[in-house]
Amino acid sequence: MTHAFMTALAAALAERAIATLRYQFPYMERGSKRVDPPALAQAAVRAAVAAAARRLPGLPLIAGGKSFGGRMSSQAQAAAPLAGVRGLAFVGFPLHPAGAPSKQRAEHLAAVQVPMLFLQGTRDELADAALIGEVAQSLGERATLQWFDDADHAFHVRVKSGRNDAQVLQALADAIGEWITQPRSDARG
The structure's pTM equals: 0.93
Angle between the 4-15 and 165-181 helix axes, to the nearest 10 degrees?
50
Give the pLDDT confidence of 129-188 residue by residue, as tens digits. Answer: 999 999 999 999 999 999 999 999 999 999 999 999 999 999 999 999 999 998 765 444
pLDDT category, 3, cuts 50, 70, 90?
A: confident
Q: Is residue 186 part of a domain?
A: no
Domain housing 21: 4-181
Number of structural domains the chain divides into = 1
Residue 51: give its domain's CATH number.
3.40.50.1820
